[in-house]
Structure 1
Amino acid sequence: MTRAIYYTASTLNGFLADEHDSLSWLLSIPQEGATADIAAFTARVGVLVEGSSTYEWVLREEDLLAHPERWQAFYGDRPTFVFTSRTLPRVPGADIRFVRGSAADHWQDIVGAAQNRDIWIVGGGDLAGQFADAGLLDEIVVTFAPATLSSGKPLLPRDLDHSRLELVGARQAGPFAELTYRVNRSPDPQLQDDPQE
């Protein structure tokens, strides 16, 4: 069964990136022992979903327009849906599908592209929240880092209480703490319609 999984890293106080969309706080932390399970996770993934800010960060960080082969090293041949209201550059040779509208609008296409494998919601937090709003999010896996930020992009800007979230896993991964929550798919009665992040 295809599951939609929001798998991400966060500061201890719940930020994905700083106010300038930088992940320097994360990249400065020694990663030894922290990424052992990423290969096992990505092996189950059939499609990736991300917002425009996440996509633009990857473009900049990996200099993908000059080095499109770097896309393959991380994303592989998997289709990637990028939710955006703007025209963005496409990485040559990559299966990138720019879409507008809500998560629900494109759900069937995303599931079809996953080919019975999992959907990785890479980020940002608001896009993951829109999947939760629509009752389409199955799991949240957060690797909390030994770092805090005074401000930035929130992990998941939604009100989800214990009736929607069940802790099903907790482990240490090097200097990080990884928590896994199963999400009750009951949607929020007020859906969010602006999926750009």
Structure 2
Amino acid sequence: MSNQRKLVLFIATSLDGYIATQNESLDWLFNVEGEGDNGYSEFYETVDTILMGKKTYDWIMKHEPGEFPYINKECYVFTRSHVEDTKDVKFVNEDIVSFTNKLKKEKGKNIWIVGGGDLLHSFINKKLIDELILTVAPSLIGKGIPLFKEGNYQTELSLIGTRHFNQFVELHYEVKKEISQ
């Protein structure tokens, strides 16, 4: 039995599978009546490390001015460019698989994939994700930034549980891992 940390996707999605509109708006999400913080605080306490892509980081910096939202957590931003670290963020230009596997072996709480779609696609393709917690909003966007990009992968999941927060439904899945001989 492994005590390895888990890599967890915790994200909101529209019913038709989008995480944002084409112009990166989340207005559709904030128009849905939730309950409290829809389980965010409870989840946030289970992680001590955060991973995100540069586009997601840039979106956060533009749309959430003021104090960085993930203080007191180790925060890594994957980028293809050389960017200087800040007091809140370490920028990573390493191989995703080796970097993530190294993090998973360190002592600590779980690791949260905040976003975005390109980074998530890489994690799925490399079979690095251990759990998915999807909060589904009763909204149809029609087109936008998809939660899951098209690709040559197949991932089997096992339902751990469901909850609802007023109009939101949370689906919690564990990724079925292939047993190697």
Task: State the Cα RMSD in Å.
Answer: 2.3
Structure 1 residue aligned with 2:33: 30
- Contact 2:82-2:93 at 8 Å conserved across structures: no
Structure 1 residue aligned with 2:100: 107
CA distance in 2, matches of 1:89, 1:56: 14
Per the normalisation by structure 1, the TM-score is 0.78
Shift of 1:35: 2.0
Paired letter, 1:93: K
Structure 2 residue aligned with 1:194: none
Structure 2 residue aligned with 1:193: none
Structure 2 residue aligned with 1:140: 132
Structure 2 residue aligned with 1:191: none
Equivalent of 1:77 in 72, 77, 94: 72
Matched, 1:97 2:90: yes
Paired letter, 1:27: F
Which shifted more, 4-13 or 176-185? 176-185
Segments of structure 1 that go 5 or more residues without pairing to the other structure are 188-197
CA distance in 2, matches of 1:168, 1:85: 35
Shift of 1:24: 1.6
Shift of 1:119: 0.4
- Which deviations, in whole Å up to 9, do the C-alpha atoms of 1:102-153 show, x marking residues without a partner? 42031244336x6321000011133223222222110011001011112111
CA distance in 2, matches of 1:29, 1:36: 11
- Contact 1:84-1:98 at 8 Å conserved across structures: yes
- Which deviations, in whole Å up to 9, do the C-alpha atoms of 1:72-94 show, x marking residues without a partner? xx31211111111235576x531
Cα distance change, pair 126–185 in 1 and its aligned pair in 2 (3 A): farther
- Which deviations, in whole Å up to 9, do the C-alpha atoms of 1:23-66 show, x marking residues without a partner? 121122233x1525222211110100011121111101112xxx
CA distance in 1, matches of 2:136, 2:71: 26
Partner SS state of residue 50, structure 1: strand
CA distance in 2, matches of 1:77, 1:149: 34
Segments of structure 2 that go 5 or more residues without pairing to the other structure are none
Partner SS state of residue 75, structure 1: coil
CA distance in 2, matches of 1:151, 1:101: 32
Structure 2 residue aligned with 1:43: 45
Structure 1 residue aligned with 2:175: 183
CA distance in 2, matches of 1:118, 1:4: 6
- Contact 1:145-1:176 at 8 Å conserved across structures: yes
Cα distance change, pair 142–36 in 1 and its aligned pair in 2 (3 A): closer
